[in-house]
Amino acid sequence: MQQREEKQLESALEAIIQRVNDLKQSIAAMIFKMENEYDTMNWPTFLDNYALLSGQLTSLSKVLSNDKCPVLRNLTVLPVHLSPERDEQLIQLTESRVTTFAHDLVPDYLRTKLEPLAENKMLQLEHKAQNLQYDNAQKQITTYQKVISHVWDIVSKAREEWEVESSSRGNAQQNSSVADTHLLVAAVGMGKGLKMGPNPNGQPNPTSGGMMVTPQGRAGGPTGPGQMPPNSQGMSINKAPSAIKTNIKSAAQMHPYGR
């Protein structure tokens, strides 16, 4: 029976030490970020670190409240060996915080009660609370509840506004079509799906010049001496009618100012 209890205590202490070390590392990392990365650290990052600490504290509480974990408050830690000399194993275990396990350090590290100054402060506060009159205590409680209620109302209102904004942003109606955009880009950039019409001279327009779009468009291609010859191979450049309606204006018509 005693061996079983010793094994349970050993396994529980190992689990507790592991959880405490993880919590210690997280706290040290958070303090380092707050001291050295305060310029770039934002609120979501701080909340993520705080959530990590909260989760580790919850995990430690579960280990302590487990049925297999012995009640640690019923156990007492007693010093086996005291020495004023330097102890390398103790330095390694305490990460160089404690170098010797001497008589003057034992009351501080193996203390089961608060420090004398903290204990005196707690006694003063308890004495002040006991001597407080009932009416004054009720007034202070009422004032405190009003402050808490006011803060709660502010937080609730901000949360409602944020939820409404998020829902409206998520339910925004779509006013564009990706497929239509691709068709329009292909028509403008490569002339895909556009019908080419003849120029005023009765000859088909070349593919490298300006386009004449019919029947909706009014813009014609370049004419005159600078116009390239028609297709020498006799190939028709008329394409199948397109479902895209375009209205291409010349550069002179589009420019708002006369040159």
Tell whether 252 is covered by a domain. no
Mean pLDDT (10-residue bins), the chain, 259 residues: 81 91 92 88 88 93 86 83 88 86 84 84 90 87 94 92 79 72 86 69 50 44 46 46 52 51
Last residue of a domain, one of 20, 55, 75: 75
- pLDDT score recorded for residue 130: 86
Model pLDDT, residue 22:
93
| Domain's final residue, options 131, 160, 189 | 160
Structural domain includes residue 140 = yes
Domain annotation covers residue 176: no
Q: Specify the pLDDT at position 229.
A: 47
User: Residue 202: what pLDDT?
Assistant: 53
Q: Is the residue at 69 inside a domain?
A: yes
Among 124, 141, 160, give the residue marking a domain's end.
160
129 and 71 inside one domain? no
Residue 171 is predicted with a pLDDT of 61
Residue 150 placed within a domain = yes
Q: What is the pLDDT of residue 211?
A: 47
Tell me the CA distances in angstroms from 257 to 213, 215, 251, one per residue in order: 25, 28, 11
How many folded domains does the chain comprise?
A: 2
Burial class (CB in 10 A: 0-12, 13-18, 19+), 223: middle
Outline where the chain has alpha helix (H). 2-36, 43-64, 88-93, 106-109, 116-131, 134-170, 178-190, 251-254
The CATH number linked to 54 is: 1.20.58.1710
Q: Report if residue 25 sits inside a domain.
A: yes
Domain membership flag for residue 225:
no
- Whether 216 maps to a domain, the answer reads no
Residue 155 structural domain: 116-160
Rounded Cα–Cα distance for residues 199 and 237 (Å): 13
